[in-house]
Amino acid sequence: MSGESASRKIDERIAELDDWRGEKLSEIRRMILTADPELVEEWKWMGTPTWSRGGVVAVANAHKDKVRITFAHGAELADPKRLFNTGLDGSTRRAIDLFEGDTIDAAAFGALVRQAVDYNATGPTRPVLLSGGNPQIKKADGDTPVQAYIAAMPGWKSEVGRRLDALIESTVPDVRKAVRWNSPFYGVEGQGWFLNCHVFTRHVKVTFLRGASLDPMPPLSGKDPDARWVNIGEGEFNEAQLETWIRQAAAIPGWPGFDTL
């Protein structure tokens, strides 16, 4: 069912939810249609509010204790504000769970909706995966190319990328980011770059560019006497140790590298 009949069904569903869930569903609906007024409202799958244009963009369901908004191709979308908080291991969909009292960044949410519409119009745009599954990302500065890299990391490695990126941001609030040589780099202005990462077949390599100065030193080394690294396999994310290394690495002069921060 689509068009006016579907819109009436969604109106009725919102009215039935005579608590915060109805208000939240109404707010989400408004943000979706504001982001793209040409979206078509549909009533699918035995009573699910759905918004489509060139294919399903998003659906919304009210559960007992939350409202969930699922993007049909969320795994293909850049999410720099990290609105997606469930279904992160899936290869296609991503979802946002909102509980009572939760708020949502309207601008970031609208950007997700517009990306989803563009995806339906143009098809997959995922980066090429190079040897070992490492994403091929054009060199650029800022958070956007780093988020594109993380989104393209295959399988469980994408979650490692998200956790590492979030840990760096929380530990080093003024961190600078860039992608060079198909790897994300993290640095501090005035000090240089302190960390990068790279995907391999069985692990994510996290290199501390001045790792030989850390205590304890990361376990692995190569030809560069200053650099040390750790390989993170599936289920091996040691947040406490990584935070210690990140905090130390960001506090000392880093690698000047491809430019001077």
The pLDDT of 186-214, averaged and rounded, is 97
144: confidence class by pLDDT, cuts 50, 70, 90: confident
By the 8 A CB rule, do 126 and 153 touch? no
Mean pLDDT taken over the chain: 93
pLDDT at 123: 72
Q: Is the pLDDT of residue 50 over 80?
A: yes
Q: Is the pLDDT of residue 119 over 80?
A: yes
Q: Is the pLDDT of residue 88 over 80?
A: yes
pLDDT tens readout for residues 52-86: 999 999 999 999 999 999 999 998 888 989 999 99
The pLDDT of 105-110, averaged and rounded, is 96
pLDDT at 260: 56
The pLDDT of 37-49, averaged and rounded, is 90
Q: Is the pLDDT of residue 115 over 70?
A: yes
Every domain of the chain with CATH number 3.90.1150.200 lies at 4-122, 131-250
103: confidence class by pLDDT, cuts 50, 70, 90: very high
pLDDT at 210: 97
The domain made up of 131-250 has a fold known as Aspartate Aminotransferase, domain 1 (3.90.1150)
- Domain 4-122 sits in CATH at 3.90.1150.200
High-pLDDT (> 90) share of the chain, %: 80
pLDDT at 107: 95
